[in-house]
Amino acid sequence: MENIVVERFLKYVSYNTQSDPESSLSPSSEGQTKFGKRLAEELVRIGLSEVEVDWNGYVMATLPANMERSVPVVGFIAHMDTSPDCSGKNVRPQLIEPYQGGDLILNEEKNIVLSSQRFPEILRYKGERLIVTDGTTLLGADDKAGLAEIVTAMEYLLAHPEIKHGKIRIAFTPDEEIGRGADHFYVPKFGADFAYTMDGGELGELQYENFNAASARVVFHGVNVHPGSAKDKMRNSMLVANRFLSGLPGREVPEHTENYEGFFHLTKFEGRVDRTEIEFIIRDFDRQSFEGRKSRMEEMVKKINLEHGEPVAEISIKDQYYNMKEKIDPQFYIVELAKEAMISCNIEPKIVPVRGGTDGSRLSYMGLPCPNIFGGGHNFHGEFEFIPTKSMESACRVIVAIASKVTEL
């Protein structure tokens, strides 16, 4: 399957499907709409049924059961968009076969090098085939690897009817990278008992925990007068905002946290003397600690207002998604099923938390428990993204193994 999934992936990355956070449409970019139609045509061509692209750009299809006994319906999900953090236009992937070790020159003209010192994980793939960028765009393995792996696995199952499986549903979603991937996902119509997003990283990753997430916006109001006559009159909103920031724990930020550690992440600071606006994302795996982080920020705003004797600061906090562990734990057999499938493919499962969110986290709260499985890529959202081709083939084999093992439930 390796050559087939690689060929498919290389075609997929030629489509510019960057999502657009400034757009209110679904999909948010024309490239996703075109790509979705292209995928639907391909699904029909390989022999899937009930292929549909709905008016919000979601692609769904069915691989019918090839056995009489009724078994649970499993779903596989990937997203079509790529991150707006780095250009996805005119992606020029390079196939390194085999990788000899050390640094990789991605773009000699522009002196762009994938450093094995900065990204030492690449050394684990010495002797394997790698797909890399030309140093000027992202690659798009997040999540076109997942797309290619699902389609290739479905094609393989169609070509091998001796592998018994129940009904399988697949879905390709738009706008996951801007947090809207599940906005218009109609779970009852999808009709799966459980599903897996193929949206993870390196070989063997299996994830059923993710951050609880919220966004926070704090506005500070100042008073601006001529600095020559400002004594006891001016209130510099930027300095008030700075005092607020100094009250947050300095080490609880993304650059100093890992594993199950949460953080406050300052994403915007725009200020003048009379008005300053700051924005954060708040992340924590533990729900109680997550609520505590939000409360802490609200109390800090109250304290500032009390100190000034008037409302100089205001805060608004919006929850974004929650830890899917709460919804998956009661049906933990679906995690065990994926583990057994990996082991049957001689892949060591690596249970790690998602330090972010996936479509699966929201879908789990919408009634579709949905752990996340590796797609094989590294260094997503940037020009140093790469993917080993053997990892892509392994993901295909895991999908096939899951489909087969569902018949044992």
Catalytic residue among 20, 42, 142, 176: 176
DSSP character string of 375-402: ---BSTTSTT-EEEHHHHHHHHHHHHHH
Give phi and psi for 209, each to the nearest 5: -130, 140
Name residue, tokens 């499962």: 349
Catalytic residue among 81, 142, 359, 383: 81
143 is catalytic: no
81 is catalytic: yes
Round to whole Å and give the CA distance between 336 and 325: 14
Contact 118, 211 (CB under 8 A): no
Per-residue b or e along 49-60, where b marks 16 or more CB atoms closer than 10 Å to that residue's CB: eebebeebbbbb
Round to whole Å and give the CA distance between 360 and 344: 24
Question: Reading across the β-sheet that carries 205-207, which strands appear in turn?
Answer: 49-53, 59-63, 168-173, 74-79, 194-200, 372-374, 205-207, 350-351
Q: How far is CA 144 from the centre of its chain?
A: 12
User: What is the H or E stretch that residue 147 is in?
Assistant: helix 141-159
Contact 373, 338 (CB under 8 A): yes
Contact 26, 174 (CB under 8 A): yes
The number of beta carbons lying within 10 Å of the beta carbon of residue 337 is 21
Annotated active-site positions, please? 81, 176
